[in-house]
Structure 1
Amino acid sequence: MASVLNSKESKASERTVVVAGLPVGHFNDRSLTTLVKRHFQDTKNEGGVVENVIYPTRTKGVAYVTFKEEKVAENVIRKKNHYLAVKIGPTQLTVSHFSEKVLISVNATLDLSVFRGQFILESLVRELQKKIPSLRFSPLGQNGRISVQGSFLAVRKLKESLLLKASSLLEKNRSCISEGEKRSRQSPRKNLLRSNNAFPSPRSPVPETARHGETARCGETLVLDTDVFLYLKKKSSFYERTLKKYHVLCQERVEGEITTICIKNDLQPNHEKLAKECIEKYSHALHFELIKETFDLKGKERRERGNIELACEQLSSKYNQELLINFNRTHIDVIGPSSAVHTFKKEVLKFIRQTVR
């Protein structure tokens, strides 16, 4: 996802967009190429003259579309929703700038053996294939290992799905342990009540759990990409509005690329699920809308590093509403909508060139 700062960018790359989500398996390559070209030539889709369509590519369901004018590429990216009109029904596409490395093909090896005691692994793989059809899965090995190939976004979605399953299993195990402890604590009391049945108490005894305090209920658990979560929390009012709407409290735990959120409402537990569904749906939309551009500071000379930091600082106020800019010792992360991030990067490069002169 990160890109190295480079002032010499290909003009063709600035006129090229990456199109993901093509309906693979329903059309031959030539027909799908024609459909894509027609879609992006249509002015209703903010399109224009298409110079070239590259399909198929190394990544399943992804095409590269090059326009005659850079302005058209920018307009296409700004358009939030693209639906490819096909006989099987409208297919939603994800359109990003070519310079974004979000959609580069990724290979990964998964060890699913950790789920063996809870799932039939073959069924788990089929579920994942159905949920993320753009990924290619190798045959499942006897040791539980499997290889996958696909776009960065698809692999990241796979990772989040598996982490969510693992997190749910962990919470389930904790609940089982808590229930077991609860029953073991209550058993002596129940036996005592049975033995004293001939001498009923004038009032019910205080439950053991009430005196010792019940084990805290976990509520609903949601796993998000950390970049998406930070943008959601810092740049969107939706997150706070949702918490207030459903009167829920959240415990947020950031662990590297993944953030786990525990959503709780002890008085109205059903609100936990409603809040989770709202945040999950909104985050999923952000997941495909946002990109991250990284300016690498590591190993750069003091002057060059200073120019990059100064450019980002001076431009940050201009893009404060759209972009989340995180300054770190070794790099600067810029997170936001595709068009805004790309424009920000161009202005940073321009600022640096002017400073060097």
Structure 2
Amino acid sequence: MASVLKVKESKASERTIVVAGLPVGSVTDQSLTVLVKSHFQDIENGGGVVEDVIYPTRTKGVAYVTFKEKKVAENVIRKKKHYLAEMVRPAQLTISHFSEKVFSSVNAVLDLSVFRSQIGLRSLVMDLKREIPALCFSPLEANGRISIQGSFLAIKKLKESLLLKASSLLEKNRNRQSPRESTWKSSHSLKPPRSSTPETMRRGERLVLDTDIFLYLKKTSGFYESTLKKFHALCEETVDGEITTLCIRNAEGGSQPNNEKQVKELIEKYSHALHFELRKETFILEGKENREKRNIKLACEQLSSRYLQVLVNFYYTHIDIIGSSSDTYLFKKEVMKLIRQKVR
């Protein structure tokens, strides 16, 4: 598997683009590399001399293309739509500057032990691999844990699949309940009868988002708060590392339950659009001298008031800058200028 280390450690990063959306499994990796190189050498695609193509990479469906000239990389990015026309079905590509895409790769650890009594875990993992080939799975541990890596959308699909399997198993267990047991419960239970209201309406609508996308959505635009206010909805936010789960409930006691679904759909649509627009640059603070750390922080704070569409997240070990490809590039360039360093 190819590495992007040589790109990061050289000035080639300015001449390198990130190509996402490559069809996985349609052709061999070698053939796909040739197709990618041919596409970006074509003048009609804004291309030019390709110096290197890195594929496969740690993220499935993503390649790194380095051109001989920086201006060629910029021309390719300006061309909004790119298709690999040589495929049976033309594959639309997403092109961006060489900077970490917010959704490019997410790592997560799953605990599948909860399924152990209902289904064979190895069989479950094999089903998931077939269902979502874009994900990378580590070997299944004895305790039922497994590590996965892939795009956030792929991990979101995985979560939805597991929730569906859990719901299906729960329903099967209910159906196994004997008529006698069911009758005894209905005639002897002191608990009030269950409401006919669907479960989703009582619990609210749940939505899973990438944490960086959610923070950008919440902090840089009024869309999130205005949507909740417009539909009289409340939202419980649970941040778990790279993933944030939203539980959307009606603030008016369920008088208009459809509001929850509308809010979910609007936020989901908006965040999906951000997935293709946002990029993330990171300043590493760990290992640097205190003076250099302070200079980087001050530069970021100074520029954040000018770049209102850029989200700056300060952490102990690093600083994340999230925004459009052009904004993050210019922001980083100005930070480097302020601290008297060249953009690398």
TM-score, normalising length: structure 2: 0.71
Q: Go from structure 1 to structure 2 and tell me whether the alpha carbon gap of 1:255 and 1:289 turns closer, same or farther (over 3 Å shift).
A: same
Of residues 238-247 and 271-280 in structure 1, the stretch that sits farther from structure 2 once superposed is 238-247
Equivalent residue for 1:243? 228
Higher relative CO (Cα under 8 Å, sequence separation at least 6) belongs to 1
For 1:284, which of 251, 258, 272 is the aligned residue? 272
Equivalent residue for 1:294? 282
Equivalent residue for 1:70? 70
Matched, 1:334 2:333: no
For 1:224, which of 182, 202, 209 is the aligned residue? 209
Equivalent residue for 1:33? 33
Q: Secondary structure at the match of 2:207?
A: strand
- The offset of 1:340, in angstroms, is 2.1
Instruction: Decide whether the 8 Å contact of 1:16 with 1:65 is kept in 2.
Output: yes
- The offset of 1:231, in angstroms, is 0.3
C-alpha root-mean-square deviation of aligned residues, in Å? Answer: 4.2
Equivalent residue for 1:313? 301
Equivalent residue for 1:197? none
Instruction: Decide whether the 8 Å contact of 1:82 with 1:92 is kept in 2.
Output: yes
Instruction: Decide whether the 8 Å contact of 2:99 with 2:280 is kept in 1.
Output: no
- The one-letter code matched in structure 1 to 2:217 is L
- The offset of 1:337, in angstroms, is 2.3
Distance 2:194 2:48 in 1: 74
- The offset of 1:310, in angstroms, is 2.3
Of residues 11-20 and 21-30 in structure 1, the stretch that sits farther from structure 2 once superposed is 21-30
Distance 1:314 1:218 in 2: 43
Cα deviation code 1:196-233 (max 9, x no counterpart): xxxxxxxxxxx999xxxxxx932111122221111011
Distance 2:187 2:81 in 1: 56
Structure 1 residues not aligned, in runs of 5+? 1-7, 191-206, 210-215
Q: Go from structure 1 to structure 2 and tell me whether the alpha carbon gap of 1:162 and 1:58 turns closer, same or farther (over 3 Å shift).
A: closer
Q: Go from structure 1 to structure 2 and tell me whether the alpha carbon gap of 1:54 and 1:305 turns closer, same or farther (over 3 Å shift).
A: same
Instruction: Decide whether the 8 Å contact of 2:52 with 2:67 is kept in 1.
Output: no
Distance 1:28 1:218 in 2: 46
Distance 2:108 2:341 in 1: 42
Cα deviation code 1:2-57 (max 9, x no counterpart): xxxxxx96222210122232113223445423432343345665x32132342543
Matched, 1:270 2:258: yes
- The one-letter code matched in structure 1 to 2:241 is G
Distance 1:345 1:35 in 2: 32
Q: Secondary structure at the match of 2:18?
A: strand
Structure 2 residues not aligned, in runs of 5+? 1-7, 175-181, 196-200
- The offset of 1:262, in angstroms, is 0.9
Q: Go from structure 1 to structure 2 and tell me whether the alpha carbon gap of 1:109 and 1:276 turns closer, same or farther (over 3 Å shift).
A: closer
Q: Go from structure 1 to structure 2 and tell me whether the alpha carbon gap of 1:79 and 1:284 turns closer, same or farther (over 3 Å shift).
A: farther
- The offset of 1:157, in angstroms, is 4.6
TM-score, normalising length: structure 1: 0.69
Q: Go from structure 1 to structure 2 and tell me whether the alpha carbon gap of 1:107 and 1:237 turns closer, same or farther (over 3 Å shift).
A: closer
- The one-letter code matched in structure 1 to 2:335 is V
Q: Go from structure 1 to structure 2 and tell me whether the alpha carbon gap of 1:73 and 1:134 turns closer, same or farther (over 3 Å shift).
A: same
Identity of aligned residues (%): 63
- The offset of 1:288, in angstroms, is 4.2
Distance 1:252 1:350 in 2: 37
- The one-letter code matched in structure 2 to 1:254 is V
Instruction: Decide whether the 8 Å contact of 1:164 with 1:223 is kept in 2.
Output: no
Equivalent residue for 2:338? 351
Equivalent residue for 2:243? 258
- The one-letter code matched in structure 1 to 2:216 is Y
Distance 1:16 1:243 in 2: 40
Q: Go from structure 1 to structure 2 and tell me whether the alpha carbon gap of 1:89 and 1:113 turns closer, same or farther (over 3 Å shift).
A: same
- The offset of 1:272, in angstroms, is 2.0
Instruction: Decide whether the 8 Å contact of 1:51 with 1:66 is kept in 2.
Output: yes
Equivalent residue for 2:4? none
Instruction: Decide whether the 8 Å contact of 1:53 with 1:63 is kept in 2.
Output: no
Q: Secondary structure at the match of 1:18?
A: strand
Q: Go from structure 1 to structure 2 and tell me whether the alpha carbon gap of 1:311 and 1:160 turns closer, same or farther (over 3 Å shift).
A: same
- The offset of 1:324, in angstroms, is 0.3
Distance 2:54 2:290 in 1: 43
Equivalent residue for 2:129? 129
Q: Go from structure 1 to structure 2 and tell me whether the alpha carbon gap of 1:160 and 1:310 turns closer, same or farther (over 3 Å shift).
A: same
Distance 2:138 2:286 in 1: 37
Matched pairs, number: 312
Instruction: Decide whether the 8 Å contact of 2:102 with 2:212 is kept in 1.
Output: no
- The offset of 1:345, in angstroms, is 1.5
Q: Secondary structure at the match of 2:274?
A: helix
- The one-letter code matched in structure 2 to 1:20 is A
Q: Go from structure 1 to structure 2 and tell me whether the alpha carbon gap of 1:243 and 1:75 turns closer, same or farther (over 3 Å shift).
A: farther
Q: Secondary structure at the match of 1:217?
A: helix
- Between structure 1 and structure 2, the one with the greater Rg is 1
Equivalent residue for 1:52? 51
Equivalent residue for 2:93? 93
Instruction: Decide whether the 8 Å contact of 1:164 with 1:222 is kept in 2.
Output: no
